[in-house]
Structure 1
């Protein structure tokens, strides 16, 4: 902000900088197929909307009706100004602003100017409309140099610094989110290393080798394990909970029949509630689904909780493995075939067993950890690709 305040500003009219023309053809949305994402041989379809840079989608149309790239689209009755990097088609009442200077104008400068124009026309509203003449006379402010000319050097440098700062902020935000997710998933700082971009390629190769080794170990484990069917009621028991349907709002998470948000549909007062932790919850109505609840919660309605009948180590790997096995059973239940405990408890699940024909918890722990390790590496790679894509986008603006 200090740099913007320190630079000198001059007033310009659109006609001082741009030629204003109508679109090469008005294309009506109900006459074409609009794609949400750009596929081969399609181009942006710019209309009078305020989101997504005015781009409603992407369309096939005769190429002779394309408007030139590196121009500014100006929506006449919604008063929206956007820089368009690609060639594009338009809908109704969209003018095209083409830079008329002798030298080629850079994309960063066009982007800056489109924002300056938008700031000037933001006070105008739908229904006023505008003619070509009124657009040409639209006044706005831009940084100027000592010759009272547009200070393109300042604009380019300012946007580059802004992009660098924004990229650093994005990287820091994504890194913090990733670290928080990994730690919440049970990994410690020693279980993963988030590298600078200088080592990303090397670490990607290392993670690929780790994935391959983990996958081979999983396959070896799987081939050498024996599986056995168990009745759910022989392993788990339902937990009796107090009725708290009438409890008012509060800060205690409570389960309902929803199958999203880890089944936590309400937050209620803890007064008189049965507070549970490290147990399973399940829907008793609607789509059948089981959830692991690692933090304190209670049962509100259309749901119930159950736990292991005998004491086990409260390792997250155990709960996650059983969660997958249980949901293979629960997924067949629905509104018409409710997943009540009476029904579900009679179902069979298949589990690994050891030499004594007992549930093999050692296998479960190792197997689940290896799966989590593979997922961990994929998450880190996804993060790195996300940052790389941001860098590519910024590079393309240069």
Structure 2
């Protein structure tokens, strides 16, 4: 996925893509209450001013943009409107001249709003200014039109980033609710508050290890992050200056305060987390405890950390036996039941997908030879002159070279805008002992050496891309140092692919075939988990 740094932009007139129509609701006193949103020149609430009943004036369909013509602090703000609405006279409807998706319209609204500082009560958006209104949009260099696909992908990515923590929080609440309500099958009517010191036999904080003292290695280093199961990196330190734990929970004392995770493996703990352990407890009981412990995040924050004294005073509401003791057996049985249900549901989904895909791909398939240059209308060489001309960075962009390992990635380097090349392509390796003749599919943007040639086709995705690379790799035996894979020879290579009734590459078949392979592998993994253990 490209970002703003490596995208070219261009000015476009608003009128090239939108029909501008001014709102018509100008007699507010005559309006009555109803369920149609009335959009006005507000700077909040997506422009909603009220909800009104239908009247004789026009309503506007959804999936458009509204633009505030004037207003105190609201002038120049654009909103995406998904529903049918009424507009007052201070708002203009921007109606797409051709169909545009919700994500594209959200992106365009964002670009328009970036210019809001130009407008106000003394300088409103009238008809003349709308006709001459320009906005900068990402450019599709191949067509010189706006790059609608980039806008779509970018906003989908942003949407996922925004929704992910919310979905995770809702899922945790759902688990807590299931636990507190008994989870349907597993019922527990007796709950009791227990101190942390009653629940855990070992409560110990990790040990401070400065970033500068980290050595390279493969031991998980757990700190106060709420991501990646609390793992902040991997280290190789193996001396008395560290604390190693395993088969326990960690609780973040600072940073993402209250975040708890289960670790069945050996790890090194920083001084920002506390180990919580009880001898004889299995992973299911630990997993049961996590969402309940996480609720401490509502009480503590960056300015009020969970220190050693406070944790001893905290209590957890847990299932209890008739004798008033912690019912660890119930916790373990409950989480086994949850895991069993999730696995059964997942297995069912993948079995259904596998059956559908098999129906699609079984049967006779016609194949045809294609010249590589015909299959890839755009063949370009890598731009990098070598690693001596660029700085290596652990968190940089992928650097592709003459290797058939790590999906062609030699290392990660600094982002040089002049040499970055777009992803969603196939990289053909033209040099290198043992690697010449191989190809890899790349979804992400990257920097490549001149030993690579990159093939682009609009039908490529990760499924069709991996299908083609599997077939393209069959030519690798014909090349060696005495007979190199030059750009000319590459363009004349022949690839045999499935074809449709028109004799064109059957992209749908290739995608379904690879999806089927993927589903089979996932299904094998799921079936390798012994579901009987959870019954």
Report the TM-score, using the length of structure 1 for normalisation: 0.50
Report the TM-score, using the length of structure 2 for normalisation: 0.38
More helix by share: 1
More strand by share: 2
- Larger RCO (CA under 8 A, 6+ residues apart): 1
